Amino acid sequence: MALYLLFESASGYALFHAHGIDEIGQSVDAVRSTVLDLKRFSKAVKLAGFTPFLSAVDALNQCNAIS
């Protein structure tokens, strides 16, 4: 089963396809160390798509819509 992660940033939405999360997701410390290490993080997830916000107003509306 595929696991996808949605990340919202100031510039838009990014969709990541997660690989190997079962192995690293066993403890909070393991996940934290993977996220902080770019080399390990790039092996665990791959960018599947990115949608930029059209304007600052659009970004604010999107932020308010999901919070």
pLDDT tens string 7-66: 888 899 999 998 766 655 567 777 777 778 888 888 888 999 999 999 999 999 988 887
- The reported pTM is 0.70
Structural domain count of the chain: 1
What is the reported pLDDT for 25? 53
What is the reported pLDDT for 31? 73
Q: Which domain covers residue 35, as residue numbers?
A: 3-66
Quick one: tokens of 43?
């092996």
